[in-house]
Structure 1
Amino acid sequence: MDLIATQSCNVVIYLENLYQGNLEPNSLQSINAIPWTNWLQIWMESLSPETNLSQDCEVSLRLTSDRDVQALNCQYRSIDKPTDVLAFAATEADIIIPEEIAEPLYLGDIIISLDTANRQAISQNHSLVMELAWLSSHGLLHLLGWDHPDEVSLKQMLERQSQLIQLLEI
């Protein structure tokens, strides 16, 4: 019998809901009920064999409007239009973190436009919660070093996102 050692990585999430738009009250209630920390914990456990992170991690998640995302997109990417999700990694993907570091590793920031997420959920004919799961998993993968500069890598990333979403049983 082979024993497999698993790595554990607890996730602390800092959630900022800065949205001041026109979403319906039902949508806002569903957003407030999302178990963000649970989602990220499930995803990090699933991704731990790929990431080799055995220490606790921290992630900042900001929910905001198209206007705020557009300003950030313009400032940091020189693209003057809103987008659905931005991810700003705090570390380089290939950095080696000594295991004896006692503090959680700050992975970075995920910023989601609730306006764009809502429009995409409607156009994709699924719930806003599903769309937010999709966007937050995409942002997390970026924080962990995934990227999609070409069609092949985009397909791989989207497949991995789909696997992560299935873990949530939404």
Structure 2
Amino acid sequence: MLSEESGYLVQVELDVQDCFFESFPEAAQASGYMDSQVSPATWQDWFHRWLEILDSSLPPAPSYEIGLRLTDDTEIQAINAQYRQQNKPTDVLAFAALEVDLPQNPEMVAEPLYLGDIVVSINTAQRQAGQQEHSLSTELAWLTAHGLLHLLGWDHPDEESLIAMLQQQVVLLEAIGININVNY
């Protein structure tokens, strides 16, 4: 069913926190981040499109809520150390809120279903974008799509599941007009 408000089949409330720009405006300017910065409206559009594609993977809810935090290597390293015992920066972390099946509370049926949070390091994304020879915004879309799939229960413990996940990321990026070449 299309929402009259947005025209999207699946509704999502997205909380974008651009801590990289807010905390380091000079570094953001100097690094070229400002030229590739994705607007909150664009993020919202991307997540709407992605969730429509992934609709069959979504638990039933009137709408969904996701947090997206764009940060730097220092903060993501601290988060990675705290939650994954990996004391090093990483590109993306996902904290799924739906890792277990919870009984539905009838009072919560009208509320957005919180899917979880995605944290992306702008510093690492910039390095990877350079290595992959594509734009920072493409890398941010790639990493965020990866994080979204993790929120929905996708994982890559082996080569086969990694390839399936990467293929789904390609589909998600194509849906927002980004063509990316991935060697599987």
Does TM-score exceed 0.5, indicating one fold? yes
Match of 1:130 among 138, 148, 154: 138
- What does 1:26-41 align with in structure 2 at a 5 Å threshold? 26-33=32-39, 35-41=42-48
**Alignment deviations for residues 14-57 of structure 1 (CA, whole Å, 9 cap, x no partner):** 01111145343642242143610100000000100233434200
What's the offset of the Cα at 1:81? 0.3
For 2:69 and 2:117, the matched residues in 1 are separated by 8
**Structure 1, unaligned runs of 5 or more:** none
| Conserved? CA contact 1:9–1:53, under 8 Å | no
The aligned counterpart of 1:11 is: 12
The aligned counterpart of 2:115 is: 107
- What does 1:71-150 align with in structure 2 at a 5 Å threshold? 71-92=78-99, 94-95=101-102, 97=104, 101-150=109-158
Q: Flag the 1:131–1:76 CA change in 2: closer, same or farther, 3 A.
A: same
Q: Which runs of 4+ in 1 moved over 4 A?
A: 93-100
Q: Flag the 1:137–1:93 CA change in 2: closer, same or farther, 3 A.
A: farther
**Structure 2, unaligned runs of 5 or more:** 3-7, 179-184
Computed over aligned residues only, the root mean square deviation of the Cα atoms, in angstroms, reads 2.2
Aligned length: 166
Residue 111 of structure 1 aligns with an amino acid whose one-letter code is: V
What TM-score do the two structures reach when normalised by structure 2? 0.82
Match of 2:173 among 156, 165, 168: 165
What TM-score do the two structures reach when normalised by structure 1? 0.88
| Conserved? CA contact 2:80–2:90, under 8 Å | yes
